[in-house]
Chain A
Amino acid sequence: MDTKKYVIKQISIFSENRPGRLAAVAQALGEEKINILAFSIAEANGFGVIRALVDHPEKAYKKLSSLGYNVAFTDVIAVQMKDQPGGLYDIAKVLGDSGINIEYSYAYSGKKVAVLILRVDQVEDAIEKIQGAGATLLEHTVFH
């Protein structure tokens, strides 16, 4: 199975917990006409990581690096959520049963349906298991 088309390039940005850091990132991307499709912020005491799906990840990486930010690419997958209770539980169970860890997740509201962005430790396995369970994965072309 071609799993590659389901692998989505997320950009992760190291950030101090200071007011205005997210705004500064958003502004920098805006200047390059890069759209942020989904994002989440993970915080620890004193610092955080901004995670974002954008339409032009390479361009975003270049721009933010040139401004001195610590930026990295991270592979994530996007699962289309069934519009019914228990959808998230099903996916978590499928992955858990296969010994795949979810490192983090966040939601993205797509055009019609809710989408869950997942960072897992074994991306290819996860794609196969999720599809095997009958759930729908979004291709990276949906984002960029």
Chain B
Amino acid sequence: MQFWDPRIEEMPKADLQKMQYKLLKSLICRLYSFSPFYHDRMKAQKVHPDDIRELSDIRKLPFMFKKDLRDNYPNHIFTATREELVRYHVSSGTTGKPTVVGYTQKDIDMWSTSIARGLTAIGLGRGDVIQVSYGYGLFTGGLGLHYGAERIGATVLPTSVGNTERQVELMQDLEVTAIACTPSYLLHIGEVAEKIGIDIKKDTHLKAGILGAEPWTENMRKRMENWLGIKAYDIYGTSELSGPMFTECAEQNGFHIWSDIALVEVIDPKTGESLEPGEKGELTLTMLQKEALPMIRYRIGDISSVDEDVCPCGRTSPRINRIQGRVDDMLIIRGINVFPSQVEYTLMTIPEVGEHFQIVVERTGALDDMLVRVELTKESFSDKINDLMKIRQNVEHRLRNALNVAVDVELVEPGSLPRFEGKSKKVIDKRAI
């Protein structure tokens, strides 16, 4: 078993928490003294650094939201000087103004270290060739993985997104052993490889995928692992925290959240109350060592739960389980909460349809109508209308059971649903807001 930072990765939990308390205390003192934004926030909440006497006192501190970054566009809450900044990343403004994240050299180092620990934990190191097929540029994925992979001494192939045929050829010619990209892009790469007659399982050296930036499921993992002959690992992070930075270990049982880097809480999104380990709620992270843009109790909007048990791999950090959905992606259909990930999970268990889907929600009168468009696979195409009707009824039935809400299903031609080479947009909500 390989470790990048064995001292921290295997540190007993009690020691980790002592370390976290020290880091938190000094961070809060620094912010209260030097940052007008954090100072005012704490004043408004009537909390002073002296009130932070143990780790659980973090619950006294106010939350932060993405809105705080947007409202302070571009850089009004940065806590580093212009001279100290070495990089900006900007997240896409799909839901409003873009957000800008700044980094000091130490911020970049911590980010790279976090990824280096993760890549080491899945058995990568010197001699591995890692193809980084996340977008390079303002998006954090490309450069983030790039620096992390270089940190462990692996060889980076910085292909970015696009020109997929060439990506497949390079993967084969340069004996790439691992690829970092979105799960939907890996599916696309697999399809393109098949089309040009390359069997990734047999014709390449690919053994691992580090997949993130969009939600995916256990079933999708199994499917990709069997199809491509790789181990598929999830990676977690958002640009506000730095970028993708926490991966699963070889056990594939949750993201290791390194305790010296981040403190994770799970809260009830409605009340803000802290939840117990194992309980599902909104992930809330505090970045303990960030210099340019410390995030305190940042509510990410992702739904998951925390596992505090020591991992079988020997690492003591808490783990967060696979992301179940977004607080704001949650669709309310006839009063019932529906996550697109539940739809995906259900479709994965039905062999007659493919993994791509699209949800269309409309309102007729007072009722919500939910339509799920799925691609009929080649193998299950039958000349008989009745067989096709049965497939559709089965999908409708399974979705209704999983979601507790009636769903119409439309069978569409294979390859006709849009494939996105970035974040997937799988929901079209036509209801007037």
Contact = CB atoms under 8 A, between A and B. Distances in A.
Contacts of A42: 385
B388 interface: yes
A36 B298 CA distance: 63
A22 B416 CA distance: 16
Which applies to chain A's interface (DSSP): helix, strand, loop or mixed? Answer: strand
Given A103-B384, A119-B383, A15 B413 contact: yes
B262 to A, nearest CB: 44
A12 B385 CA distance: 11
Given A15-B413, A16-B413, A70 B384 contact: no
A71 B383 CA distance: 9
B198 interface: no
Given A16-B416, A46-B410, A70 B381 contact: yes
Interface centre among A47, A74, A103 (most CB of B within 10 A): A47
A44 interface: yes
A12 B387 CA distance: 14
Interface string B383-416: 1110011001000000000000000001111111
Given A12-B383, A103-B384, A68 B389 contact: no
Interface in B343-386: 376, 378, 381-385
A72 B388 contact: no
Given A12-B383, A49-B383, A119-B383, A44 B388 contact: yes
B263 to A, nearest CB: 49
Interface residues of B, number: 17
A44 B381 contact: no
A44 B389 contact: yes
A63 to B, nearest CB: 15
A38 to B, nearest CB: 15
B414 A72 contact: no
Contact of B376 (A51, A70, A74): A70
Contact of B383 (A43, A47, A74): A74
Interface centre among A51, A70, A72, A103 (most CB of B within 10 A): A70
Nearest to B412: A16
A14 B376 contact: yes
A92 B26 CA distance: 89
A73 B232 CA distance: 37
B411 A46 contact: yes
A106 interface: no
A49 B416 contact: no
Interface in A1-21: 10, 12, 14-16
Contacts of A74: 383
Interface centre among B378, B412, B413, B415 (most CB of A within 10 A): B413
A14 B381 contact: yes
Contact of B388 (A49, A51, A68, A69): A49
B383 A68 contact: no
Contacts of A51: 383
Given A12-B383, A103-B384, A119-B383, A47 B378 contact: no
A13 to B, nearest CB: 9
B414 A68 contact: yes
Contact of A70 (B378, B385, B389): B378
Interface string B267-302: 000000000000000000000000000000000000
Contacts of A103: 384
B413 A72 contact: no
A16 B414 CA distance: 10
B383 A72 contact: yes
B410 A72 contact: no
Contacts of A69: 413-414
Contacts of B376: 14, 70
Given A47-B388, A49-B385, A68 B413 contact: yes
A15 B412 CA distance: 7
Contact of A72 (B382, B389, B411): B382
A10 B382 CA distance: 13
Interface in A51-104: 51, 68-72, 74, 103
Interface centre among A12, A42, A43, A46 (most CB of B within 10 A): A46
Interface of B: 376, 378, 381-385, 388-389, 392, 410-416
Interface of A: 10, 12, 14-16, 42-44, 46-49, 51, 68-72, 74, 103, 119
Given A10-B383, A47-B388, 5 more contacts: A12-B381, A16-B413, A46-B411, A51-B383, A69-B414
